[in-house]
Structure 1
Amino acid sequence: MTNSPSEPGAETPQQKADRIAEARRTRRANQTVRNLIGSLIASLAIVLFLVLVVVRPDPAPLTVDYLAAAAEAEASLGTAVIAPIVPPTWSANRAELAGSGGVDEWAVGFITENRTFLGLLQGFTDEQSWLRDALRDPGEGESVRIAGVEWQRYDRRGVEGVGLREIALVTSTADSTVVLYGTASDADLEVLANAVAAELPAAD
């Protein structure tokens, strides 16, 4: 008995095996591509999270309208407080009327263009004990003249325990003691001293 010839176009066992193997290879290749795309999406999501949450820009510094606060302080005290006009690249982060040891104090904090700090403290007293407390026992200063005003200058940069009072200038008005202090450069301190001098009665 002879085998009948295969029908034309019929798939041989080898062709079927090859077709199945090719289909499997195609599925594996497609699965690999899907896995790669999924991994890429996950990686991009992580990068986006880091950009949005971790690598955020620094928040804008707190800015205080110290001129408006000065007007309120003057109304409360019944006398003038010093509100110097500083460079537009500076900002105020503090302006308040407070008190220490029974002495009224007007305080303003400035952040300079170089991101350093300078403070203005006006105590309505001539007591040396108040000044010692304000500057944390500054010791002996030296006399300097800036913008026609006599100041006592204190330089304690490198001294431990002085905090923000590394450098300071002190002068007096008829009813108050004016202290300029901070961590800024000598040049910035002099800029503030010139601005304060323009506000002092003696500079009129």
Structure 2
Amino acid sequence: MAGKQKPPVIVAELGRPETASETSARKARDSQLYRQRKTVNNLVLSLIVSLGLVLVIILAVPRGTGGWGDYSVNVAEAAAAASESTGVSLIVPEVPSSWKAKQAELRESGSGDITYWYVGYTTENGAYAAVLQSFTAEGAEVDATWINQQFEGLEPTGRETLGGVDWSVYDYPERNPDETNVLFGAEGTLSSTTALVFGTDTSAVLRTLTAAVGDADSRSRAATSTAHEEDQ
């Protein structure tokens, strides 16, 4: 006996059985939706895995107890190494142990005709202080325009003797330390080089630093003279 043919299923939203073309269209739509859901699920899974890897990397990176605030370079060692390449005795001023020397390196001006030894400090007060010792390969006088640029176009306000050196002083205490690097500055001649000192701490602190630069130059010249006498 032949089996009964199953009647087509009535689709609720149509109120009748699907046609062959409607069935094909429905299956194609369902297949597309499945693929889209699978793609989204894969993207979410990939994102979770990536975030997990990033977290693992972050946790794996070793961390010291200090940071930039505790970081300080050895100025004397850096000066000794740099002096070998320049033939110039580079200044190492004596500063309080609470100061942090953040940078101590040789630099060149934009035109490349001026080389300068740069030491940048964070003072005990959390302010900025810098010492620049500049010179040229030919021993010529350092360009006044470049010096003026370091002092942000300011004019000297007087002259003072600090640490046995005669300095042109730039005293501008009314300036905003958040908008300038020069509240106080000084320019003087050390041996055959031009020294600049400036920063955003008080003028008293920066005058002490300027005197320390002059004292360091005196010690350097005395040591050079002694070594020269011993060689003779």
How many residue pairs align between the two structures? 148
Question: Structure 1 stretches (4+) deviating beyond 6 angstroms?
Answer: none
> For residues 191 and 140 of structure 1, what CA distance do their matches in structure 2 show?
18
Closer/same/farther in 2, CA of residues 162 and 134 from structure 1, 3 Å limit: farther
Is 1:138 the counterpart of 2:147? The answer is no
**What is the TM-score normalised by the length of structure 2?**
0.58
SS at match of 2:70: coil
**What percentage of aligned pairs have identical amino acids?**
27
How far did 1:121 drift? 0.8
Question: Which one of the candidate residues 140, 160, 163 is aligned to 1:147?
Answer: 163
SS at match of 1:84: coil
Question: Which one of the candidate residues 202, 207, 231 is aligned to 1:185?
Answer: 202
> For residues 119 and 131 of structure 1, what CA distance do their matches in structure 2 show?
14
> For residues 217 and 179 of structure 2, what CA distance do their matches in structure 1 show?
27
> For residues 117 and 98 of structure 2, what CA distance do their matches in structure 1 show?
23
Counterpart in the other structure of 2:91:
82
Q: Structure with the greater relative contact order (CA < 8 A, sep ≥ 6): 1 or 2?
A: 1
Is 1:199 the counterpart of 2:210? The answer is no
How far did 1:71 drift? 0.8
> For residues 58 and 74 of structure 1, what CA distance do their matches in structure 2 show?
30
Which one-letter code corresponds to 1:118 in the other structure? A
How far did 1:139 drift? 1.5
Q: Aligned-pair RMSD on alpha carbons?
A: 2.3
Which one-letter code corresponds to 1:76 in the other structure? S
Which one-letter code corresponds to 2:187 in the other structure? V
Counterpart in the other structure of 1:172:
189
Closer/same/farther in 2, CA of residues 76 and 58 from structure 1, 3 Å limit: closer
Counterpart in the other structure of 1:108:
119
How far did 1:157 drift? 3.4
Counterpart in the other structure of 1:9:
none
**What is the TM-score normalised by the length of structure 1?**
0.65
Counterpart in the other structure of 1:65:
74
> For residues 164 and 85 of structure 1, what CA distance do their matches in structure 2 show?
21
Task: Point out where structure 1 has 5 or more consecutive residues left out of the alignment.
Answer: 1-56
Which one-letter code corresponds to 2:184 in the other structure? I
How far did 1:140 drift? 3.2
SS at match of 2:91: coil
How far did 1:201 drift? 4.0
How far did 1:171 drift? 0.5
Which one-letter code corresponds to 1:122 in the other structure? Q
